[in-house]
Structure 1
Amino acid sequence: MTVKVYERILDLFEAEGINTIFGIPDPNFVHMFHLADERGWNVVAPHHEASAGFMAEAVSRMTGKAAVCIGTLGPGIANLAPAIMCAKVENSPVIFLGGQRARITEQRVRRGRIQFVKQAALVEPSVKYSASIEYADQTDEVIRNALRTALSGTPGPAYIEYPSHVIQGDLDVPAALPPSAYRLVDQTAGPERVAEAVELIRAAKQPILLVGHGVHTARVGESVRALADALACPVIQTSGGTSYIKGLEDRTFPYGFSPSAIEAVVQSDLCVALGTELGEPVHYGRGRHWVANEANRKWVLVEQDPQAIGVNRPIDVPLVGDLRAVVPQLVSALDGFTRTPSPELAGWITADAERLAELAETAPSGQSPVHPARLIVEATKVFPPDGILIRDGGATTIFGWTYTQAKPNDVVWNQNFGHLGTGLPYAVGAGVADGGKRPLMLITGDSSFLFHIAELETAARLNLPLVCVVGVDYSWGLEVGVYKRTFGQGSRETGTHWSTATRLDKVAEGFGCYGEYVERDEDIAPAIKRAYASGKTAVIHVVIDPKANSEEMPSYDEFRTWYAEGTQ
């Protein structure tokens, strides 16, 4: 069949189950956008290309597939830079398509060319794969290699550039191949290694599952639950893996922030690590809480990238393969084996439930402005049971780790890169991936919310059931704390404050959203309920205590231990 290059690109993505594209419909891409819309794709044009990239990343996290984002030549690619870097550090397989001027223009010896820079060389260090479609008949091989590279080993982004004269080229090609015809899918681990892992599991007295970011982005919760049931063990969350797997909520504890998690780690004689790089936030699996009992603890690591094995710590049994294939393989090899839960497990479950109840009871209340701990408690107490939680912000997120009362099955936030401002675009992307069916709640600080506040219009246009709960201290709260600890109380906090006249609820109303202004903690939950009932995208502006926000961050000492070499 004869097709245009832009049509073939859509065919190749559709073969991967991709049906969403984000970007601003510049002339380079209008034909692709128009055809995608005709085919029933989700075609989303936000207000900034960085937001488009973050939205695509959220779709990838929510679907377990690659995602697609476009940026026009020059400034469009420049605007994509933060999203590209974020996707690299967050291990997100986003395919970024970049337009470019015709190669005859690029190769001229000229000065003063409009909207032009040699952008591939600028992008290349931040992606796993960078290529250009120079000729129409390269389309299949380049798109497929981008997908192959982005989804193999440790996932990550790819960049594909095509000059403006190529996208309108004609191709005579057969139907697009399924993924299994051109790349490795559902890679299982070797049976000998699986047998070794089963032997360790059967012998363990105090096993734990260490569940990371990859478990949720690969969408393997159901099979991980089956493994957890067979082991009858606690589930320890890494800071990147804070979604709760259905059916395991009561025995899932956040590493470092729950005494139950710490006790389970210390007493463990086997750690089965899934979807985690064993990075700084878990002290590489060998420092801090892991030191005790290290000599008696065995490790099983399921890892797609063989080059990651043994880098951060020795591993007794590496299972190299795709989580989506290896975890079911492990469950099957256990052949119905189920451990008797250790006597300590029930105690850890009770202790953690009591911890959360005590935090809800003791978080400072009755003050105005609202204490940030109480903001988290009140907001998460009315979090919809089937909702998607999005986190953003510095101090706000640190309070959230400790005080949240909800146990969502989907949490989206920027853990590895720490990129502020991703929350609102992530919320839009998650809502698009979900089809706008489940309620979304973004809990964020005002600093991070202001990064991409224009995307409120995008959320409203898409009619997403999103409530943004914004803790407003009119400052860079985390940075104010740094000033105070560095220079002492009363120090001059340069560049960290802005006008208390800022009213984010009024901004929301200007975008056609629902807005409420809250100064008392008892008003937070009712405002959130009214916001969901409005049927509109909403913003709840909650004035929080700036002193508490900068000086009373909970578990801050634990957070500081993440910087393992003391470089910050």
Structure 2
Amino acid sequence: MISCTQRLLDLLAAYGIDTVFGIPGVHTIELYRGLDASPLRHVTPRHEQGAGFMADGYARASGKPAACFIITGPGMTNIATAMGQALADSIPMLVISSVNHRDTLGRGQGRLHELPDQQRTLSGVSVFSHTLHSAEALPEIIARAFAVFRSARPGPVHIEIPLDVMTQPVADTPIRIPALYPPAAPGEALDRAAAWLGEARRPLVLLGGGCVDAPDAARALVERLDAPAMTTINAKGVLGLDHPLNLGATASLPAARQLAAEADVVLALGTELGETDYDLVFDDGLRFEGRLIRVDIDPQQLARNQPADLAMLADVGSVMAGLLERLPSQIDRGGAAQVRDTRTALALRDAEDVAPYAVFLDTLRQALPEATIVGDSTGPVYAGNFLVDMPAPRRWFNAATGYGTLGYGLPAAIGAALATPERPVVAVVGDGGLMFTLSELATASDAGLPLAVVIWNNDGYGEIRRYMDMHEVTRLGVDLPAPDFATLAGAFRCRSVRVACPAELSDALAGSQAARVPTLIEVNADHWPVAT
């Protein structure tokens, strides 16, 4: 017999979890009994929200979930924001928390860290939230979590373990890991979709985050159809660099919307067709006049936002493979010419809200072309969502989609750096957003990460200033003098450098990779050159 918590550590390792983000507390010390002797790596953030964002960045960069060990009550309300971001973007995350003794739950006795109903509080930011009432049920609940991660639309799963259950004995039986296969579309649906696409004169493909694990199939399908393709932000890089059929994440813009309206068949793969990818101008102006084929792992997504003419509940990779088997040889539909004409009409590098960041983004990509770039909600990231192309998926992600929380960039970049130590990682943050999770510089420093943290410093909340000016609202609460980041970097045992031009930024980025600590690279937004 072993304890429930020892069984938990064994199960996590058996399912392939290798990293746990957590802050030990009086209610979680049993989770730490034996953790030092397990194969799991433990990382201590400075705030539970940071733990959640790190697990999020870890999963986006690697494709594998991480776990979080979180205390009862305030620990869970702290991590709720990070869970909300992960839920919005379909990111797997296993959150293990403590909760008070079973016989005290819901009694309102004022016990330490007590919530009226912690499980129900967290259920709104989870795929599911479960209270473990018996140690014997633990393998079943962990299996449910990984069934979600591996064969359904992923997201955070929360399992809370009462203090008296943590120490319960349970039999040390062999761990059985089921082979999980996601759903596949029936042949009849694939036949119909292939027929529609084969007959189409102006097809359009929409690639969402559900495509990131099948980039080769996505490329082959787009090329076979000779169809323009738009990606969501989370699918950036699926088609690789400079693909002639790739329009990137431009679906919110007039010329791209015109192309969508003119398409006679639209194939939407693994995308919710949501506002932050398709309606960033917030006018509900995206229209499909032709037939819409939707493929998603979540049945409810198939009925949201845009009505489909043909909907397939299936793994996107298997559908792409099935369509490639059924489609005829490539038909010349002039897809590349459509993309060129649309890009000319878009004139992205001349757009008023994009052009000021073009030189900055070019420098970033040229200095570290293989880097993973993790962004917060800040001007250069918004512009980069339109402008930046990546060589592979999982190299560009940020909090500008879905939940849209500030403070994401730094801790998510730490998670990405821990997940992919072979690849440079750059966090692009605003001075305002960085202050939300500034304490996580200590975590990055402790881990000895050669992380480049590029701060776009405009003394406050620049994007909100712009919105206030646009809507003729008097500025209030947005002009916030930034702290002395160089002094703060020293206090956190990090390097720092201020840059004023592309050459200095390029040198600073290159130099960051030779360091064994994070490097804060501060850019004064008011003096950054708009043109080379």
TM-score by length of 2: 0.88
State the shift of 1:484 in Å: 2.1
State the shift of 1:6 in Å: 1.5
Deviates more, 1:251-260 or 1:46-55: 251-260
Other structure's SS at 2:459 match: coil
Corresponding position of 1:345: 336
Other structure's SS at 2:460 match: coil
State the shift of 1:397 in Å: 2.5
| 1:421 is the counterpart of 2:420 | no
Corresponding position of 1:463: 448
Distance 1:433 1:539 in 2: 21
Corresponding position of 2:195: 199
- Provide Cα deviations, 1:386-444, integer angstroms capped at 9, x if missing partner: 2111111233322323454765632121211111111111111112222x110011222
Query: Does the C-alpha gap of structure 1 residues 412 and 162 become closer, same or farther in structure 2, counting only changes over 3 Å?
Result: same
Equivalence map 1:390-539=2 (5 Å): 390-404=374-388, 409=393, 410-414=395-399, 415-434=401-420, 436-487=421-472, 491=474, 493-500=475-482, 502-539=483-520
Corresponding position of 1:307: 300
Corresponding position of 1:221: 215
State the shift of 1:356 in Å: 8.2
Distance 1:248 1:481 in 2: 32
- Provide Cα deviations, 1:48-79, integer angstroms capped at 9, x if missing partner: 11111111122222343443212111221121
Deviates more, 1:452-461 or 1:339-348: 339-348
- Provide Cα deviations, 1:266-306, integer angstroms capped at 9, x if missing partner: 4422221111011223259x963535xx1xx2222111122
Give the total of aligned pairs: 522
Distance 1:256 1:109 in 2: 50
Distance 2:32 2:347 in 1: 47
Would you say the 8 A contact 2:456–2:524 is kept in 1?
yes
Would you say the 8 A contact 2:228–2:335 is kept in 1?
no
Would you say the 8 A contact 2:361–2:384 is kept in 1?
yes
Distance 1:498 1:372 in 2: 21
Query: Does the C-alpha gap of structure 1 residues 47 and 192 become closer, same or farther in structure 2, counting only changes over 3 Å?
Result: same
State the shift of 1:350 in Å: 8.3
Corresponding position of 1:76: 75
- Unpaired stretches in structure 1, ≥5 consecutive residues: 365-370, 553-568
Query: Does the C-alpha gap of structure 1 residues 527 and 273 become closer, same or farther in structure 2, counting only changes over 3 Å?
Result: same
- Provide Cα deviations, 1:187-223, integer angstroms capped at 9, x if missing partner: 211111111112122222332220112223xx22232
Deviates more, 1:68-77 or 1:479-488: 479-488
Corresponding position of 1:157: 156
- Provide Cα deviations, 1:363-398, integer angstroms capped at 9, x if missing partner: 87xxxxxx545433433332x222111111233322
Query: Does the C-alpha gap of structure 1 residues 464 and 263 become closer, same or farther in structure 2, counting only changes over 3 Å?
Result: farther
Q: 1:288 aligns with which of 282, 285, 290?
A: 285
Would you say the 8 A contact 2:370–2:423 is kept in 1?
yes
Distance 1:86 1:357 in 2: 28
Would you say the 8 A contact 1:472–1:542 is kept in 2?
yes
One-letter identity of the residue aligned with 2:187? P
Other structure's SS at 2:471 match: helix
Query: Does the C-alpha gap of structure 1 residues 102 and 310 become closer, same or farther in structure 2, counting only changes over 3 Å?
Result: closer
One-letter identity of the residue aligned with 1:140? P
- Provide Cα deviations, 1:305-355, integer angstroms capped at 9, x if missing partner: 223323322322222112243333333344xx3313423414635874998
Query: Does the C-alpha gap of structure 1 residues 327 and 316 become closer, same or farther in structure 2, counting only changes over 3 Å?
Result: same
Deviates more, 1:40-49 or 1:315-324: 315-324
Other structure's SS at 2:133 match: coil
Distance 1:359 1:512 in 2: 40
One-letter identity of the residue aligned with 1:25? P
Query: Does the C-alpha gap of structure 1 residues 472 and 347 become closer, same or farther in structure 2, counting only changes over 3 Å?
Result: same
State the shift of 1:178 in Å: 1.6
Corresponding position of 1:115: 113
One-letter identity of the residue aligned with 1:271? V
One-letter identity of the residue aligned with 1:214? G
One-letter identity of the residue aligned with 1:440? V
Query: Does the C-alpha gap of structure 1 residues 116 and 265 become closer, same or farther in structure 2, counting only changes over 3 Å?
Result: same
**Identity of matched residues, %:** 25
Distance 1:264 1:80 in 2: 41
Corresponding position of 1:558: none
Corresponding position of 1:231: 225
Distance 2:40 2:312 in 1: 37
Distance 1:307 1:357 in 2: 34
Distance 1:499 1:93 in 2: 37
Q: 2:309 aligns with which of 300, 307, 316?
A: 316
Distance 1:323 1:13 in 2: 27
- Provide Cα deviations, 1:233-292, integer angstroms capped at 9, x if missing partner: 3321124433343367443212237787456434422221111011223259x963535x
- Provide Cα deviations, 1:487-522, integer angstroms capped at 9, x if missing partner: 46xx4x22212235x222332232222210123455
One-letter identity of the residue aligned with 1:470? I
Query: Does the C-alpha gap of structure 1 residues 356 and 470 become closer, same or farther in structure 2, counting only changes over 3 Å?
Result: farther
One-letter identity of the residue aligned with 1:515? S
Distance 2:12 2:370 in 1: 30
One-letter identity of the residue aligned with 2:489? A
Would you say the 8 A contact 1:57–1:92 is kept in 2?
yes
Distance 2:413 2:211 in 1: 20
Distance 2:34 2:244 in 1: 47
One-letter identity of the residue aligned with 1:116? E
Distance 1:55 1:148 in 2: 22
Q: 2:246 aligns with which of 242, 246, 252?
A: 252
Distance 1:170 1:264 in 2: 62
Query: Does the C-alpha gap of structure 1 residues 457 and 209 become closer, same or farther in structure 2, counting only changes over 3 Å?
Result: same
- Unpaired stretches in structure 2, ≥5 consecutive residues: none
Query: Does the C-alpha gap of structure 1 residues 42 and 451 become closer, same or farther in structure 2, counting only changes over 3 Å?
Result: same
RMSD between superposed Cα atoms in Å? 3.2
Would you say the 8 A contact 2:373–2:425 is kept in 1?
yes
Query: Does the C-alpha gap of structure 1 residues 233 and 78 become closer, same or farther in structure 2, counting only changes over 3 Å?
Result: same
Query: Does the C-alpha gap of structure 1 residues 270 and 34 become closer, same or farther in structure 2, counting only changes over 3 Å?
Result: farther
Corresponding position of 1:167: 166
Would you say the 8 A contact 2:204–2:229 is kept in 1?
yes
Query: Does the C-alpha gap of structure 1 residues 226 and 85 become closer, same or farther in structure 2, counting only changes over 3 Å?
Result: same
Distance 1:273 1:248 in 2: 21
Distance 1:465 1:204 in 2: 49
State the shift of 1:130 in Å: 1.8
Distance 2:339 2:106 in 1: 66
Other structure's SS at 1:130 match: strand
Distance 1:347 1:55 in 2: 40
Distance 2:364 2:370 in 1: 15
Would you say the 8 A contact 1:240–1:416 is kept in 2?
no
State the shift of 1:464 in Å: 2.6
Equivalence map 1:78-93=2 (5 Å): 78-93=77-92
One-letter identity of the residue aligned with 1:331? L
Would you say the 8 A contact 2:9–2:38 is kept in 1?
no
Query: Does the C-alpha gap of structure 1 residues 398 and 270 become closer, same or farther in structure 2, counting only changes over 3 Å?
Result: same
Corresponding position of 1:368: none
Distance 1:65 1:363 in 2: 33
Distance 1:424 1:538 in 2: 12
State the shift of 1:7 in Å: 2.3
Would you say the 8 A contact 1:309–1:315 is kept in 2?
yes
Query: Does the C-alpha gap of structure 1 residues 108 and 313 become closer, same or farther in structure 2, counting only changes over 3 Å?
Result: closer
Would you say the 8 A contact 2:46–2:439 is kept in 1?
yes
